[in-house]
Amino acid sequence: MIINSLAGIKHGNSSNFFLMAGPCAIEGEEIALRIADRIVHITDKLNIPYIFKGSYRKANRSRVDSFTGIGDEKALKILQEVKNTFGVPTVTDIHESHEAEMAAHYVDVLQIPAFLCRQTELLVAAGKTGKVVNIKKGQFLSAESMQFAVDKVIETGNDKVILTDRGNTFGYQDLIVDFRGIPVMKSFDVPVVMDCTHSLQQPNQSTGVTGGKPALIETIAKAAIAVGADGLFIETHPDPANAKSDGANMLHLDLLEELLVKLTRIREALL
Task: Kindly list the structural domains of the chain, giving each domain's residue range(s) and its CATH number in brackets, ordered by start.
Answer: 18-270 (3.20.20.70)
- Residue with more model confidence, 217 or 68: 217
What pLDDT was estimated at residue 3? Answer: 47
| pTM for the whole structure | 0.91
- What residue ranges in 86-176 does DSSP mark as E strands? 90-93, 109-112, 132-136, 161-165, 168-169, 175-176
- pLDDT tens for each residue of 7-62: 555 444 457 899 999 999 999 999 999 999 999 999 999 999 999 999 999 776 55
Residue 64's contacts (CB-CB under 8 Å, 6 or more residues apart) are: none
